[in-house]
A and B are shown apart, each in its own frame.
Chain A
Amino acid sequence: GQQVMQIPQYQHVQEGEDFTTYCNSSTTLSNIQWYKQRPGGHPVFLIQLVKSGEVKKQKRLTFQFGEAKKNSSLHITATQTTDVGTYFCAGRGNQGGKLIFGQGTELSVKP
């Protein structure tokens, strides 16, 4: 069945450094969503990408959807302590149906 793999599992950075998490699917996706979960909190929706090669920005966050629609990335420029948390990608297959979540990347930021 459809699988969504996310790497790395953990990332520790110094405040001000950049951060990237990658999401790869075993099958072509119709769309991908990204969520952020603060420590002790619940996942909160960040963005959705639908088109092949799509790039979207939210302030210091840049989201990309691969040309083949099988991978995606989230890049944070100049991390801040407020970026701490776990970032999840979630993809939906071309046949429709529900989202499949990746394992998440836990980001810690050292001030």
Chain B
Amino acid sequence: NAGVTQTPKFQVLKTGQSMTLQCAQDMNHNSMYWYRQDPGMGLRLIYYSASEGTTDKGEVPNGYNVSRLNKREFSLRLESAAPSQTSVYFCASSEFLGQVVKGSYEQYFGPGTRLTVT
């Protein structure tokens, strides 16, 4: 069981370039998430997918697009990278989004992608 895997681990882009961050999980989870982490800002949700076939915006979706390719894979695309998108990107998954009685489900995070945009 690899858990949540992300590629690449590191990436340097020039302003205006595009790229796709890949994420896959082997835990048969229904929900997947993309976060960015910046110093002093914590983890901010970019997009999430509650279940296969659905995607929704999080707190900071501008400049990003996502694709839930199948139950295992959830990719994040930067169409035209900007220096403000320099960050560490984490993908995460959970069995489900949550339930009123049971609460939220534990999220499992990937190792992260360090992206620098110059």
Contacts and interface: CB of A to CB of B under 8 A. Distances in A.
A9 interface: yes
A62 B107 CA distance: 21
B58 A98 contact: yes
A50 interface: yes
A93 B90 CA distance: 22
Given A50-B102, A96-B100, A88 B107 contact: no
B42 A97 contact: no
Interface string A68-111: 00000000000000000000101010001111111110000000
Interface string B103-118: 1101111111000000
A44 B43 CA distance: 13
B48 A98 contact: yes
A42 B95 CA distance: 18
A42 B112 contact: yes
Given A30-B103, A48-B106, A103 B90 contact: no
B42 A104 contact: yes
Nearest to A5: B42
A42 B33 contact: no
A53 to B, nearest CB: 15
A103 B40 contact: yes
B105 to A, nearest CB: 9
Nearest to A104: B42
B44 interface: yes
Given A50-B102, A97-B97, A98-B33, A45 B107 contact: yes
Given A99-B98, A100-B59, 12 more contacts: A30-B98, A30-B100, A31-B103, A33-B107, A42-B90, A45-B107, A45-B108, A98-B33, A98-B45, A99-B45, A101-B44, A103-B42
14 contacts: A9-B40, A30-B100, A31-B98, A33-B104, A43-B90, A43-B109, A45-B108, A48-B106, A50-B102, A90-B104, A98-B97, A99-B104, A102-B42, A104-B42
Interface of A: 6, 9, 30-31, 33, 35, 41-45, 48, 50, 88, 90, 92, 96-104
